[in-house]
Amino acid sequence: MYTLRSYFRSSASWRVRIALNHKGLAYETVPVHLLKGGGEQHASHHHRLNPMEQLPVLLVDGVPLAQSLAVLEYLEERHPTPALLPTEPVLRARVRQLSEVVNSGIQPLQNLFVMQQLGVQFGVAREAQQAWSRFWIEHGLRALEELVGDTGGRCCVGDAVTFADLCLIPQLYNARRFSVAVDRLPRLLAIESRLVALPAFVLAHPDQQPDAEA
Amino acid sequence: MYTLRSYFRSSASWRVRIALNHKGLAYETVPVHLLKGGGEQHASHHHRLNPMEQLPVLLVDGVPLAQSLAVLEYLEERHPTPALLPTEPVLRARVRQLSEVVNSGIQPLQNLFVMQQLGVQFGVAREAQQAWSRFWIEHGLRALEELVGDTGGRCCVGDAVTFADLCLIPQLYNARRFSVAVDRLPRLLAIESRLVALPAFVLAHPDQQPDAEA
């Protein structure tokens, strides 16, 4: 029923992998390589499935759904148990707010395509591209650390896993890739230490994917 | 009950203003000037309400909610009629996908803070900053034009106003500010021409806000 077009290191694909695992939903992975040959996400077949030429795409009986948070909401509506959103309206809003801090506040500014464009449009060198990504990750994760001070329990909002946790884990992985000083984010690290032990998170890790590379 | 911290030209605030109007919800506007004195969104009072130092913030009986799509989902859950989401799950996913094309795929890359950082970090001049914003707006709106070819009716998805329309209108306004060739987006322009006649959209326009400037 579900096919996920995914890349092992794509943080947005990773969020959806955790959700599918958490809800016990079987799915087939179709790897799309973001680098090989200029990026398979730009091929016409993938473009037809998602004109933004991004990952993930979840195929639902062949219908392509893109944008990870839209896909998470879809899975939550179709498979409400186990839940990835709380029941109380303000807490649901808070989960979505924290998720968007990552989804719209960090990830769009630090991904590969943006770094490439800094080079293409302004001749920015590799190291300065990485400093750019680091800046936006630090800016967003500092805000998330503060927000979690109000809402956090064992997870980002309370004690149950939500969308916010699915966004946090891949973003912390990227933070380390860009040498962000994550030790300044003690609340997020404490939550991370609990989440990464959960089977849904273990199975969704990049290293566990069929297209994983060393 | 509702107070909206808003700036007349903030596209994310504008989305929420349309939603409040569409649902007939009274609200008080508290203007936050994004430029004056380096930006009032960076003041400590605003930071406490939203550590991302962005707009909008919707205060619900004093509780601050941020990230416009999280706020839209909250309003939809609390005030489901008139609806801003369809009922069918795949169409709901499509509305959210289209909304995220703007919310995470365009707006984060073309806003004032990003343009300023291009100057600060790489010495990019004003004109090249604007070319950067134009690039991302064109990239995203071209994808949206394609997607609307599948789903569009009188509005972005079918014939009723949804979140996607609330995201489209402010983004087209920004497109024109950055001299994007919007005539290459005929489906989006046809939808826009219908939406801008609706009272909820008229009242939410920047020119109609208490903090509007010439």
- Domain A89-198 class in CATH: mainly alpha
Task: Indicate yes or no: CB of B94 within 8 angstroms of CB of A65.
Answer: yes
- What is the tens place of the pLDDT at every residue in A100-113? 999 999 999 999 99
Among B25, B24, B43, residue whose Cα is nearest residue B33: B43
Tokens (6 digits) for A152: 């956090």
This model of the complex carries an ipTM of 0.98
Report residue B214's pLDDT band, with 50, 70 and 90 as the boundaries: confident
Query: CATH assignment of B2-82+201-208, given 3.30.310.80, 3.40.30.10, 3.40.710.10, 3.40.50.880?
Result: 3.40.30.10
Q: Please, which pLDDT band fits residue A214 given cuts at 50, 70 and 90?
A: confident
Distances (CA, A) of B131 to A99, B109, B124, B135, B138: 29, 12, 11, 6, 10
Q: List, by residue range, all CATH 1.20.1050.10 domains of chain A.
A: 89-198
Amino acid letter, residue A56: P
Residues B174-180: what's their mean pLDDT? 97
Q: Which residues of B touch A134 (CB under 8 A)?
A: none
Intra-chain end-to-end CA distance of chain B, in Å: 30
What is the number of alpha carbons within 13 Å of residue B78 lying toward its C-beta? Answer: 20
Tell me the pLDDT tens digit for each residue of A78-126: 999 999 999 999 999 999 999 999 999 999 999 999 999 999 999 999 9
Report the pLDDT value the prediction gives residue A136, as an integer from 0 to 100: 98
pLDDT tens digit string along B132-158?
999 999 999 999 999 999 999 999 999
Tell me how close the Cα of B48 comes to any Cα of chain A, in angstroms: 9
Residues B94-143 have pLDDT tens digits of 999 999 999 999 999 999 999 999 999 999 999 999 999 999 999 999 99
pTM: 0.98
CA A94, CA A189: separation in Å to the nearest integer? 19
Q: State pLDDT tens for residues A142-201.
A: 999 999 999 999 999 999 999 999 999 999 999 999 999 999 999 999 999 999 999 999
CB distance A104–B99 less than 8 Å? no
A53 interaction partners in chain B (CB closer than 8 Å): 143
d(CA B155, CA B191): 5
| Predicted local distance difference test score (pLDDT) of residue A172 | 98
Whole-number Å distance between alpha carbons of B83 and B72: 11
Domain with CATH 3.40.30.10 in chain A: 2-82+201-208
Q: Where are the alpha helices (DSSP H) in A8-125?
A: 11-22, 44-49, 68-78, 89-103, 107-110, 112-122
Q: Which of A97, A111, A126 to mutate to test the interface with B (most CBs of B within 10 A)?
A: A97
